[in-house]
């Protein structure tokens, strides 16, 4: 499991917390784009710590399917979220190009590293603020509050994800607690 792209080592918490994206003088924002089920998504580059090959995953039992498991990231145990399962209940199929994007999520004063599984990482893009449309009220097939906006790139729309919402530990851990298999009472019958 080698690091494909070391985006950056660390970002001051203040910066990462208050400013999800880098904005240069022209008002452009930097994003990492990736594909998931043939759709293009993007996340603010400041939330991205690194990108690694998929592998070495340990499943955590009694958790919802969108929590794929945990990996060893240089000694730290980092959970990995299957975005496709989170958005649409379709488990991501592993391919050669499947990657884990390690994101840094700031909640209050706590910083977590969470990995997201993506089909393929595309590139780092600058999207001018003028090219970003507000999220559609419906029709995007994923929850509206997961979307920060729609970026126009080469005539196509890219869904800019609101990582704080998508990877909200509070929401995810609550979902895990009410996991239909019920973690508290697993099947014991043989």
Partner 1 sequence: MDELTATFIDESRTLLAAMEGGLLQLEQADAGDDNVGGIFRAAHTIKGGAGVIECRFIEAFTHIVENVLDRVRAGDIPVSPGLVSVMLACCDHIGALLGVLVAGQPAPPQEVAAEGDALRAQLGQWGDDDGQAADCADGSTVPLSEAVTASGGGVVSSDAWHISVRFGTDVLRMGMDPLSFLRYLTTLGEIVTIETLADAMPDAAEMDAESCYLGFEIRFQTRAGKAEIERVFDFCRDDCALHILPPQSKCSDYLQLIQELPEDAMRLGEILVRIGALTQAELDAGLAAQAQPTSVEFDGDESGARAPLGEILVGQQAVRQEVVDAAVLKQATVKDRKIAESRMVRIQADKLDQLIDLVGELVISGASTHLFAQRSGLSELMESTSVLSRLVESIRDAALQLRMVQIGETFNRFNRVVRDASRELGKDIRLAITGGDTELDKSVVEKLGDPLMHLVRNAVDHGIEPAAVRAERGKPHQGTVRLNAYHDSGSIVIEVGDDGGGLAIERIRAKAIARGLIAEDAVMSGAEISNLIFEAGFSTAEQVTNLSGRGVGMDVVRRDIQALRGTIEVRSTEGVGAAFCIRLPLTLAIIDGFLVGVGSATYVVPLDSVVECIELQETTTGRNYLNLRGEVLPFVRLREMFEIGGDVPARQNVVVVQHAGQKAGLVVDRLLGEFQTVIKPLGALFQHLRGIGGSTILGSGEVALILDVPALLALVTSAEEKLVSPAPSRGRPSGTPDSQHLILQPSE
Q: What are phi and psi of 45, to 5 degrees?
A: -65, -25
In the bound complex, what is the minimum distance in angstroms from residue 38's beta carbon to partner 1? 28
* Residue 164 sits in the site that holds partner 1 (CB under 8 A): no
Please identify, using beta-carbon distances, which residue of 96 and 187 lies nearer to partner 1.
187
* Residue 188 sits in the site that holds partner 1 (CB under 8 A): yes
In the bound complex, what is the minimum distance in angstroms from residue 176's beta carbon to partner 1? 6
Following DSSP, what letter does each residue of 91-139 receive, concatenated? PPPP-TT-EEEEEEEEETTEEEEEEEEESEEEEEEEEEGGGEEPPPSSS
The sign of the dihedral angle between the CA atoms of 182, 164, 9, 55 is positive
**Using CB under 8 A, which residues numbered 68 to 97 contact partner 1?**
69-72, 75-77, 79
* Residue 108 sits in the site that holds partner 1 (CB under 8 A): no
Number of residues located near partner 1, criterion CB under 8 A = 37
Residue 42, judged by CB atoms within 10 A of its CB (0-12, 13-18, 19+), counts as buried
* Residue 142 sits in the site that holds partner 1 (CB under 8 A): no
* Residue 173 sits in the site that holds partner 1 (CB under 8 A): yes
The token pair at 98 is 């499947």
Residue 5, judged by CB atoms within 10 A of its CB (0-12, 13-18, 19+), counts as middle
Residues that bind partner 1 (CB under 8 A): 56, 58-63, 67, 69-72, 75-77, 79, 107, 110, 112, 114, 169-170, 172-174, 176-177, 181-190
């Amino acid at each position: 499991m080698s690091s494909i792209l070391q985006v950056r080592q660390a970002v001051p918490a203040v910066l990462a917390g208050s400013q999800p994206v880098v904005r240069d003088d022209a008002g452009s924002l930097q994003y990492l784009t990736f594909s998931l089920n043939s759709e293009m998504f993007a996340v603010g580059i400041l939330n991205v710590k690194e990108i690694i090959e998929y592998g070495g995953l340990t499943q955590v039992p009694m958790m919802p399917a969108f929590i794929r498991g945990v990996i060893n990231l240089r000694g730290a145990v980092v959970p990995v979220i299957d975005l496709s399962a989170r958005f649409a209940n379709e488990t991501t199929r592993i391919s050669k190009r499947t990657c884990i994007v390690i994101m840094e999520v700031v909640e209050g004063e706590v910083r977590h590293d969470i990995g997201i599984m993506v089909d393929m990482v595309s590139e780092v893009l600058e999207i001018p603020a003028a090219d970003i449309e507000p999220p559609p009220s419906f029709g995007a097939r994923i929850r509206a509050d997961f979307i920060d906006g729609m970026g126009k790139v080469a005539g196509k729309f890219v869904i800019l994800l609101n990582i704080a919402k998508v990877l909200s530990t509070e929401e995810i851990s609550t979902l895990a607690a009410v996991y239909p298999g019920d973690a508290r009472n697993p099947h014991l019958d043989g």
